[in-house]
Amino acid sequence: MAGLIAPVARLIEEFSKLPGVGTKTAQRLTYHVLRSPVEDARSLSAALVAVKEEVGYCSVCCNITETDVDPCAICADPRREAARICVVEEPLDVLAIERTGEFHGRYHVLHGAISPIDGIGPERLRTRELIERVSPGGVEEVILATNPNLEGEATAMYLADLLAVHVPSVTRIARGLPVGGDLEYADDVTLIRSLQGRRAIER
């Protein structure tokens, strides 16, 4: 950027790479950092690195977990039903469902949804891990709690087909969630209703 000294331009560029951050916001954040004490900048940069170095993926459910905690706290909890698995797109969706206190099974996190437009096929998601997890048997129900939008529906349909041979009951969370919406932004009551009203997938 013309007229900017190099370190400032560099930080603006880095902030601009974040989702939802345009050039204007990136500039505001950069000047905020410039005005802040150096300790704040150090602790921000340390937190950024720590989230990459100290967070890994649960080898069972693929949710994020601290690198030295595997399986994650939910997978390791004997009070959680191992025979019921709720499949979600993102780690934030786990938090949303946990907040309701309505679900006592375990999770599987796909880390995305099928989206042909963006070139995201099932091989880019944690689908293989899910099939491997249910294929030995013992899982009674898989609840497909992907988002109620085009990508989420496509993902649910794709998984329903694959899971049918391994799992007696494959269900989809009920409508009532706003179509095109995101699970993570749904209010608790709507989420609870959609879990309670889940139904078998017609194939």
By CB under 5 A, name the binding residues for Zn ion: 58, 60-61, 71-72, 75
Q: Which is nearer to Zn ion, 13 or 129 (CB)?
A: 129
Q: Which is nearer to Zn ion, 26 or 110 (CB)?
A: 110
- CB 145: neighbour CB atoms within 10 A? 28
Min dist CB 93 to Zn ion, Å, is: 14
Min dist CB 21 to Zn ion, Å, is: 31
Min dist CB 52 to Zn ion, Å, is: 19
* 8 A C-beta contact, residue 100 and residue 188: yes
Q: Which is nearer to Zn ion, 66 or 161 (CB)?
A: 66
Min dist CB 63 to Zn ion, Å, is: 5
Q: Which is nearer to Zn ion, 12 or 72 (CB)?
A: 72
Q: Is 45 exposed, middle or buried (0-12, 13-18, 19+ CB in 10 A)?
A: exposed
Alpha helices for the chain (secondary structure H) = 6-16, 23-35, 38-53, 73-76, 91-100, 127-134, 150-163, 188-196
Q: Which is nearer to Zn ion, 58 or 201 (CB)?
A: 58
Min dist CB 95 to Zn ion, Å, is: 14
**Quick one: which of 32, 28, 84, 45 has its CA closest to 61?**
84
- Could you give the 3-state DSSP secondary structure of residue 93? helix
- Could you give the 3-state DSSP secondary structure of residue 115? strand
